[in-house]
Chains A and B, each alone.
Chain A
């Protein structure tokens, strides 16, 4: 559903910008711009599926951005080590917040609201209020560079093999249990469409400067967490808790552990986004990440998640992030003043979710 909306938005902007929107250069920028919110959205999605909320994500982005800058610029630490430590800091923050929500049973709104203030404060403290940069080369590669064309094609090939593998394995499983499968021809046709889309994407990226390195992070995260949410016991448990916590508890789900893990994941993703942001801007500032949690939540709900919990998808969150990035990008191309962009984005979120609710209700008796 949202994909249709996305296509419509792209169509609209390409008309309004006389085709500039759909150029390879702009598309490359667009996808690169959507990485930040996509990664935050993926982490936030689990929290929302659980029926909870995390308002501190923006501050965590800022804080972890500050940490990596300090370790790299002030301490000259080996990038591999500094990245590990920063991601570890994200995990710890997630552990802290998850502990309060899951074990001490303080509402997540309150815990993460406190986090929003606390972590931003710590950031200002440890950076002494200054902007820290520039970062060493590794980070320039992470934040700003592109994979060369061969690697891009390689990734495309891997994606293609992956898709073929999944489709055929699922088919083989169904046959094993004597379920109906759609005809082989239909499945091959679908495969061809997917392969075509992958090929188009790689070609488009390569025809500008190649697949952006940061996009790789987002893609990997998308694949891993999409899998996690749909195919694992953990994923199913998250949805169950969001759907009916008491019933989930009586069905043997370890509520506390699952909730803790969800917040840990979100902390980790926020740290990853913090590293990527700092790499792209080549500096850490005390303002970094402000309001990022709102974009993350927006991406999730545009992608179909319900704030009451139990409903939504990881891929939806990513599509939501791309929708929001498309709006930003398109309106910038049209030279619209910033305040219009804000107003329009707000309305889009409102109508996107309303539309989603309206179509969902038609299916219920």
Chain B
């Protein structure tokens, strides 16, 4: 049984860097093949070559499908060959409904134009098949969660008769139950003869669903193994080139006095001003502490912290006391002045400024610090930015590189640098390691420890339970807009199940 897909000796260069160096990928028919590697290792580049984003002639090396050499000049060529990619950044149209998206570019056309009846019926079938609940074919994409959106993308791909389905970090934005549904769907697709390439950092998922795994590091092949033959530690070692014994560094220091007190905080939806997304939230944050906010998607965590920072479009009100003094935060300008900093979970639309270079992206929140009279002292600016870029190990050819040329993880680190440059008292981080690979994750955690040791207090929102448990001193659990439970985590005796119980509203179920 030959390989369904072979990519041989792929070489791809970008200005100043060789992204792929003689990389080879062999995928057998009907297997789920995991592709693993740190951010910037070259996984997305490899997939972009396979899908035709980087067409034939812009790379060296060969692609074989079922033994036949293929030259994709265009994305359509790869689609015709049966390759479908579900990207990390979903390619759906938010203002259109599920049916329109599902049939985008290949609508069913009858004698009088688009055959909506047929399309709605088909869409119903797909919703059933992929177990997508609580929506109809006419539901707008922007009204369904990321998990369902992703399944719609998969349905789109399947409609195009994909033989090779490529998923790029599929579970990055999913809750555990959504991940379960995804895994079920993938297993079923496999049973129906689909081959799948699964790009992920989530080693538990790879162990769960994949048959084999290929690890790439720094643009080169490291190894390919059957999943049953390796364990998590071995994969990490291959990805990172070193052992990571403790993902979460030890937190030893004492936390100090209360620095932030929030009471009666209420946040309303920007689209429906009567609907309260966060109800009567009250909590406090101590100096040097890491307070973890956990909860399911839709629990209101991001809305809460964004409103605290003054950056949420909906209405909000509540009492906030910083260092014992009551403060009013109506905009990010107020918040920054008071010593808050905010790292959003959505760096693409709320974080990076895509037209600017790394240096300007990092310095944008504290330009006034570099000003003599009215002029920005560029040398001072570069000096300070360089310091943090180095500290956070942001990999970039130079500070003048456009920020879009950095890998996702390095972009995240650059935005983190922006927030640290303002020397905050309270740092609010929403999903600190989203889209960051294993090696860099550990760096960020060590950094968070250093920050709290030096007196900065961190309010951390995270959907990764291991991260919540590994890093927080105290944990708050939100469920449907309310803070339902507080845990003291210093004894490290809380389990994931404990948190999930409260996050899922277990306490509300009648026994």
Contacts and interface: CB of A to CB of B under 8 A. Distances in A.
Contact of A177 (B309, B332, B353, B383): B383
Given A176-B379, A252-B332, A236 B355 contact: no
B509 interface: no
B402 A364 contact: yes
Contacts of A311: 355
Contacts of A310: 353-356
A212 to B, nearest CB: 30
Given A232-B374, A250-B344, A365-B14, A240 B364 contact: yes
A240 B379 contact: no
B365 A252 contact: yes
A246 B342 CA distance: 13
B336 interface: yes
Nearest to B370: A233
A178 to B, nearest CB: 8
A248 interface: yes
Contact of B404 (A176, A250, A364): A364
B355 A232 contact: no
Contacts of B402: 363-364
A177 B378 CA distance: 10
A246 B15 contact: no
A354 to B, nearest CB: 19
Contacts of B368: 233
Contacts of A239: 355-356, 360
Contacts of B327: none
A232 B376 contact: yes
B49 to A, nearest CB: 13
Contact of A236 (B337, B364, B405): B364
A231 interface: yes
> Which of the four size classes fits the interface of chain A?
20 to 34
Interface string B381-411: 0110000000000000000001011000000
Interface in B10-30: 14-15
Contacts of B507: none
Interface string A288-310: 00000000000000000010011
Given A177-B380, A242-B355, A248 B364 contact: yes
B375 A231 contact: yes
Contacts of A253: 333, 364
Contact of A173 (B14, B342, B349, B379): B379
B496 interface: no
A243 B365 CA distance: 14
B350 interface: yes
Most buried by A among B336, B351, B355, B382: B355
B376 A243 contact: no
B135 interface: no
B371 interface: yes
Do most interface residues of chain A lie in helix, strand or loop, or is the interface mixed? helix
A200 interface: no
Contacts of A250: 309, 311, 332, 342, 344, 350-351
Contact of B311 (A231, A249, A309): A249
Contacts of A249: 311, 331-332
Contacts of B382: 177, 179
Q: How large is the interface on B (under 10, 10 to 19, 20 to 34, 35 or more residues)?
A: 35 or more
Given A252-B336, A364-B404, A243 B375 contact: no
A174 interface: yes
Nearest to B402: A364
Nearest to A233: B367
B418 interface: yes
B354 to A, nearest CB: 6
Nearest to A173: B379
B377 interface: yes
B352 interface: yes
A277 B435 CA distance: 56
B332 A244 contact: no
A62 B76 CA distance: 52
Contacts of A336: none
B383 A251 contact: no
B273 to A, nearest CB: 17
A247 interface: yes
Contacts of A306: 355
B405 A364 contact: yes
Contacts of B355: 239, 242-244, 306, 309-311
Contacts of A23: none
Nearest to B342: A250
B377 A173 contact: yes
B360 A236 contact: yes
A236 B379 contact: no
Contacts of B376: 231-233, 236
A254 interface: yes
B241 to A, nearest CB: 24
A364 B350 CA distance: 21
A254 B331 CA distance: 9
Nearest to A235: B376
Given A177-B383, A232-B375, A365-B405, A244 B344 contact: no
Contacts of A309: 355
Contacts of B15: 363, 365
Given A246-B349, A253-B364, 6 more contacts: A237-B367, A243-B356, A244-B350, A247-B349, A309-B355, A365-B15
11 contacts: A174-B379, A232-B374, A233-B371, A239-B356, A247-B352, A248-B353, A249-B331, A250-B309, A310-B353, A310-B354, A364-B404
Interface of A: 173-174, 176-177, 179, 227, 231-233, 236-237, 239-240, 242-244, 246-254, 306, 309-311, 363-365
What are the 9 tightest A-B residue pairs by CB atom distance, in nearest-first order? Answer: A310-B355, A243-B355, A243-B353, A251-B365, A252-B336, A177-B379, A365-B14, A173-B379, A244-B353
